[in-house]
Amino acid sequence: MAPSDGKAADYKSDPGSGGPSQKARRQSEGGQAPVIPDTCNLGIVLRTLVPLNALAVVGAIALSSGPIESGLRFLDIALVLEPVALGSLALLCLLRKGVNGTTRWVQWAVALGVPAALASVTALLVPRFAPPDTGDGTAWWVLGRAILAATLAWLFAVYFQLRARAFSPSFSEARLQALQARIRPHFLFNSLNAVLGLMRSDPRRAEATLENLADLFRVFMRDARELVPLDDEVVTCKEYLAIEQIRLGERLRVQWLLDGMPGDALLPSLLLQPLIENAVHHGIEPSAETGTIEIAITQPAERVRVEITNPLASVPPTRGGNQMALSNVRERLMLLYDMEAELKTGVESGRFRLQLEFPYRKERRRRDVRRYFDPDR
Amino acid sequence: MSDATSILIVDDEAPARARLREVLADLSPEFMHRIVGEAANAPEALAQIESQRPQIVLMDVQMPGMTGIELARHISARAAEADHDAPKPMPLVIFVTAFDEFAVEAFEVNALDYLLKPVRAQRLLGALKRAQTLLPAEHLEAIDQLVKATNTRRRHLSVHERGRVILVPLEQVLYLKAELKYITVRTREREYLIEESLTSLEDEFKDRFVRIHRNALVARPSIAGFERVTPTGEGEAGDPYWQVVLREVTEKLPVSRRQWSIVKGLVS
């Protein structure tokens, strides 16, 4: 099961990214986070819409004297609020790439101006119940909504900036570094021992195993934030399993179902390997019998879905660290994808089943995934 | 038996066994030995120890089903009970471990020999020579201490039956009942006899078994309920008492009056 092609060695899919961009990132670390957050991101969308609507409900209740009136008030507010909020998020998402490079004055102007403008337009279009109908009243009605929209936009912009600072590059990077999948000493020493055991009887296999081990270590020592194509991550997993195969022999069987896999999808390096190691550790190692690990990767809509199942061992593994790998991967997903990734586990027909889903992104948008670390490019 | 020391290799990974074999072969000019067998798991190892009677066992710590430390405990328990009939020389165990922080610490405390994988020839030679000088009694004590230090509780009971060792998983045991010098181990399918003390079994498996009588421990999960019985035999007018109804088997076990107050607390 040695790597048959040059892929394994050529992990850096974008050789140019190491140099200048790295420097740019370091330089930008000192600067402030951009005014406009990535408003296409699901997390940001929810963090905007939920409080806004909550505010609308509270306002509607405060301004009315009965439940029915509250409902009507809320509808009244929502009629303006929803189109302005959704429209602003969408527009800012389109504009932010161009604007975030400019001076902060421009950024603020766009961040507050877009919601204000949308609010004005909506206020003109939407029929209102409140009198009076004089020209002066209409002007104030429109201006009032615009000021309200700009104020709310300002509050949200400040909130998201504070949040970005909390997840600031140095903080998140330190966190990610700590979470970086580490090679288990147990695995290292057992693998070296297995190689020594093969050295005299089967030197070729010993060689192939050392090559796999070298590749694996190269990946392990790489930057935890680096994004790699799914194809490469699968090669890493296969190399890892080839080493385990030597140790565990016929006890370990692996079934790959990769027909629907989008090989060009980008994901953080070493996202899958720890999950597969976990499956070996909990499903195969504790049992003396043969067990099969099934790994299926598919692409439902614009997402990548990874499903891993392994047998449930009757006895717990001899070493601890049960939930470590899973909680580690979970936290990494949170830092990298916020709410757009999902990791579920459960037991299904006597097997442990894990399902991981994350957004399907190709080379083109690779940097967006790192928005918290270098949001500015 | 010749002068050569007999050695058994126990490791679940084939390449690791191969490696030990090769290193031992390299050492043969300095250390006379013969390899009497190899085992990939605990039941195999126990069978080989019974049939081959090795003097030294090189034993992996991390193995499926049962760790090397638990296995060593079974071996030492076997040695402890052997002196009734003919004394059976039990093997000295040298542990081999890849990396196990807790176990390694425990080894250091107990001065029992252990080797780190990958094993070096000189280090192995040292351990073998040291093992030869060690008294079996000291060794057994060291293993017992090691078991305590690593807090490895048994997950099986080892039953010796016509020269064979059977490992009965603890979760299959419904109850333990003392009868004369033996203890009956009841599973759904059958009964086994072991030579251990009920009190020490009670201490070791407190969380699983509850004492219902001076002579019986019952596994909590296998208690289906309780029944009140009034003896109606001829001429006897005994006091009514309670008995345990078990899942999966039909027999019922009486609860002694002294234990009832404790057992009752479990139910309500």
DSSP code per residue over B14-40: HHHHHHHHHHHHHHTTTS-EEEEEEES
Answer whether A194 sits within 8 Å of B16, measured CB to CB. yes
CATH number (domain holding residue B215): 2.40.50.1020
Range of the domain at B61: 5-150
CATH number (domain holding residue B22): 3.40.50.2300
The C-alpha atoms of residue B225 and residue A220 are separated, in whole angstroms, by 55
A60 and B CB contact within 8 Å = no
* DSSP letter assigned to residue B253: E
% chain A with pLDDT above 90: 31
Looking at the fold, whether B29 and B137 belong to one and the same domain comes out as: yes
Answer whether B13 sits within 8 Å of A201, measured CB to CB. no
The C-alpha atoms of residue B203 and residue B217 are separated, in whole angstroms, by 11
Phi, psi dihedrals of residue A363, rounded to the nearest 5°: -45, -45
Counted across chains A and B, CB pairs separated by less than 8 A come out at: 74
pLDDT band at residue A194 using 50, 70 and 90 as cut-offs = very high
**A193: chain B residues, CB-CB within 8 Å:** 13, 15-16, 19, 98, 117-119
- Chain B: give the shortest CA distance to residue A262, in Å: 36
Looking at the fold, whether B143 and B177 belong to one and the same domain comes out as: no
Q: Which candidate from A194, A287, A319 shows the least CB-CB separation from B15?
A: A194
Quick check: is B158 in a domain? no
Answer whether B98 sits within 8 Å of A189, measured CB to CB. yes
Quick check: is B100 in a domain? yes
> Taking CA atoms, what residue in B is nearest to A245?
B13
pLDDT tens figures, A55-103: 999 988 888 888 888 888 888 888 888 888 999 999 988 888 888 778 8
Q: Find, among A173, A176, A178, A122, the residue nearest to A146 by Cα.
A: A122
Quick check: is B156 in a domain? no
DSSP code per residue over A272-320: SHHHHHHHIIIIITT-SS-EEEEEEEE--TTEEEEEEEEEPPSS--SS-
Q: Which residue has the tokens 């780190």?
A: B116
> Which of A154-158, A302-306, B259-263 is modeled with the greatest confidence?
A302-306
Answer whether A197 sits within 8 Å of B17, measured CB to CB. yes
Quick check: is B164 in a domain? no
- Mean pLDDT value across residues A358-370: 64
* DSSP letter assigned to residue B219: E
Give pLDDT < 50 ranges for chain B: 1
Amino acid at A347: V
The whole-number pLDDT of residue A28 equals 37
pLDDT of A26 strictly over 50: no
Looking at the fold, whether B190 and B96 belong to one and the same domain comes out as: no
Quick check: is B168 in a domain? no
**A319: chain B residues, CB-CB within 8 Å:** 62, 100
* DSSP letter assigned to residue A7: G
pLDDT of A18 strictly over 50: no
Determine contact, residues A92/A36, Cβ cutoff 8 Å. yes
pLDDT tens figures, A333-349: 887 787 889 999 999 88
A107 compared with B237, residue with greater pLDDT:
A107
Quick check: is B109 in a domain? yes
The whole-number pLDDT of residue A178 equals 64
The whole-number pLDDT of residue B36 equals 95
Looking at the fold, whether B205 and B113 belong to one and the same domain comes out as: no
Quick check: is B165 in a domain? no
pLDDT band at residue A168 using 50, 70 and 90 as cut-offs = low
Q: Find, among A305, A282, A309, A284, the residue nearest to A294 by Cα.
A: A309
Q: Among A132-141, A276-285, A289-298, which is the least confidently predicted range?
A: A132-141
Looking at the fold, whether B32 and B134 belong to one and the same domain comes out as: yes
A287 and B CB contact within 8 Å = yes
- Chain A: give the shortest CA distance to residue B18, in Å: 5
The C-alpha atoms of residue B206 and residue B203 are separated, in whole angstroms, by 5
pLDDT band at residue A368 using 50, 70 and 90 as cut-offs = very low
Looking at the fold, whether B113 and B210 belong to one and the same domain comes out as: no
- Mean pLDDT value across residues A101-124: 86
The C-alpha atoms of residue A368 and residue A21 are separated, in whole angstroms, by 14
Domains by residue range for chain A, with CATH: 30-166 (no CATH), 173-370 (3.30.565.10)
The whole-number pLDDT of residue B85 equals 54
> Which of B102, B135, B150 delimits the end of a domain?
B150
Looking at the fold, whether B50 and B143 belong to one and the same domain comes out as: yes
- Chain A: give the shortest CA distance to residue B68, in Å: 10
The whole-number pLDDT of residue A339 equals 80
What ipTM was estimated for this complex? 0.70
B119 and A CB contact within 8 Å = yes
Q: Which candidate from A198, A285, A315 shows the least CB-CB separation from B15?
A: A198
Q: Which residue has the tokens 């003109």?
A: A124
The C-alpha atoms of residue A20 and residue A166 are separated, in whole angstroms, by 26
- Chain A: give the shortest CA distance to residue B214, in Å: 31
CA B11, B14, B18 angle in degrees (round to 5)? 95
The whole-number pLDDT of residue A4 equals 42
A192 and B CB contact within 8 Å = yes
pLDDT band at residue A43 using 50, 70 and 90 as cut-offs = confident
Looking at the fold, whether B47 and B127 belong to one and the same domain comes out as: yes
Q: Which candidate from B12, B17, B98 shows the least CB-CB separation from A186?
A: B98
**How many domains are there within chain B?**
2
Looking at the fold, whether B121 and B198 belong to one and the same domain comes out as: no
- R_g (Cα) of chain B, nearest Å: 22
